[in-house]
Amino acid sequence: MPHRYKVREIAQQSGLSEATVDRVLNNRPGVRENTIAEVNQAIADLDKQRAQLRLNGRRYLIDVVMQTPRRFSDAFRAAVEAELPAFAPAMVRARFHLWESGSAAQMAEALDDIRGSHGVVLKAQDDPDVAEAIDRLVDSGVPVVTYTTDVPASSRCGYVGIDNHGAGVTAAYLVEQWLAGSPSGVLITLSRTVFRGEGEREVGFRSALRSSGRAVVEVSDSDGIDATNERLVLEALEANPGVEAVYSVGGGNLATVAAFERIGRDCRVFIAHDLDADNRRLLREGRISAVLHNDLRADARLALRLILQERGALPVEPARPVPIQIITPYNVPVHY
């Protein structure tokens, strides 16, 4: 099968002879590993140069659509805006459609109202109405990438985010290690059960704690909004005096901490998600134990790249799972 570049082009790029390049491309014996690496690097460089030519002077408009607490949407918006210049010489602009609570029907309507878009980064409910709205966008030529929580039954072109089940298992491990011999129950807080990612975290957490015999008390449907979350957490704590630990899946952590303080109960372990402004402060003050975090700028860069790949503007690269970082008060990244 002919290669996408001529042997002469690869030879010029690598500084090797055409005969050597031909041997590498045809997997002939007697070629050193470092020579193969030089040829592969030359091909990668040619791919980048071709991508630069495709991007030159092109303009792309990306829509970011998210139902999420404002503290998270603010952080992700900043990450997207910081990454847009990285796609030069193309000019990539973003429009943001952000709100904290709403129904799946409202989300579907918002997706149907998008016009003139080259791609959508979406955090939404895993709901048939949303999946159908995604399919309509894709059918119209607009690629969609789901972020942090997936809608797998849709025709979205990719998912960006952590392994949510693995995150839940990790949280359970940390809780169990810190509680040690304490019989404490654990409060798990979710913003809303319709988000698939949160459900996967909860399943992972419960499955990993099952053998411990610990009581797991659930609070949900707060949308991660502090005022609602504090009321729900306070009710749960008053009804469950043995709960002295928290796994916060859906945010609202200032409110959860405040609820513990209102009833005068110590929280022995508090595992949260995302290194937003609230969680940074709570970490510094020693009021939460650890944050399960992923680099939002890396997320934004990958989501934008997947959209440009789908549009043929960039060479296809495999999307790798986003690693989970365990952040304590002693290893908070300096750029946060």
Q: Which two tokens stand for residue 334?
A: 């300096």
The CATH architecture to which 164-293 belongs is 3-Layer(aba) Sandwich (3.40)
Q: Domain ranges for the chain, please list them.
A: 7-54, 59-160+296-322, 164-293
What Å distances lie between residue 99 and 70, 131, 229, 303, CA to CA? 7, 19, 17, 20
User: Looking at residue 53, what is its pLDDT?
Assistant: 52
Average pLDDT of span 273-292 = 92
Residues 172, 178, 181, 187, CA torsion sign: negative
Question: Residue 213: its pLDDT value, please?
Answer: 87
The tens digit of pLDDT for each residue in 317-333 reads 777 777 889 999 999 88
What does the alpha-carbon distance between residue 102 and residue 91 come to, in Å, rounded to a whole number? Answer: 32
Task: Look up the CATH number of domain 7-54.
Answer: 1.10.260
For the 59-160+296-322 domain, the top CATH level (class) is alpha beta
Q: Is 1's pLDDT higher than 50? A: no
d(CA 150, CA 156): 9
The whole-number pLDDT of residue 257 equals 95
